[in-house]
Amino acid sequence: MYLTIKQFILLTFLLCCFEITIAQKQTQKVKDYYTNGIIKMKGKKINNAKIGTWFYYANNGKLTKKERWKNGDLKFTILYNEKVKASEIIYKDGTVKKLKGCGC
């Protein structure tokens, strides 16, 4: 049996919607908390691989670092000082860039 063009387009559309739904279900938001209830870290995973920006906090709630991930591969880390100002960037190859104006 051959498909008409309309049937083919409809079938293709439905398959694309099904794949998008599966991908959305595999996206997981991750959060961890200190025993005092303050957030420790948060980020997202797809298929158990970190993606996007991950945030890490001290037990007083202040941001300490951010990590940028793409498909489970760490691209860079930004460290923050006690004034919550970005102080340095550490790239995945290990190079460190000190930031000016961090209030250090």
pLDDT > 70: what percent of the chain?
Answer: 79
Residue 97 has pLDDT above 80, yes or no: yes
How many separate domains does the chain show?
Answer: 1
- What CA–CA distances, in Å, run from 59 to 33, 81, 101? 9, 14, 25
User: Per the domain annotation, does 93 fall within a domain?
Assistant: yes
Average pLDDT over residues 10-21: 63
User: Per the domain annotation, does 11 fall within a domain?
Assistant: no
User: Per the domain annotation, does 43 fall within a domain?
Assistant: yes
**Per-residue confidence (pLDDT) for residue 48, from 0 to 100:** 87
User: Per the domain annotation, does 20 fall within a domain?
Assistant: no
Average pLDDT of the chain is 85
Residue linked to tokens 């591969």: 73
Residue 67 has pLDDT above 70, yes or no: yes
Domain that holds residue 51: 28-98
User: In this predicted model, which residue has the larger pLDDT, 66 or 11?
Assistant: 66
User: Per the domain annotation, does 94 fall within a domain?
Assistant: yes
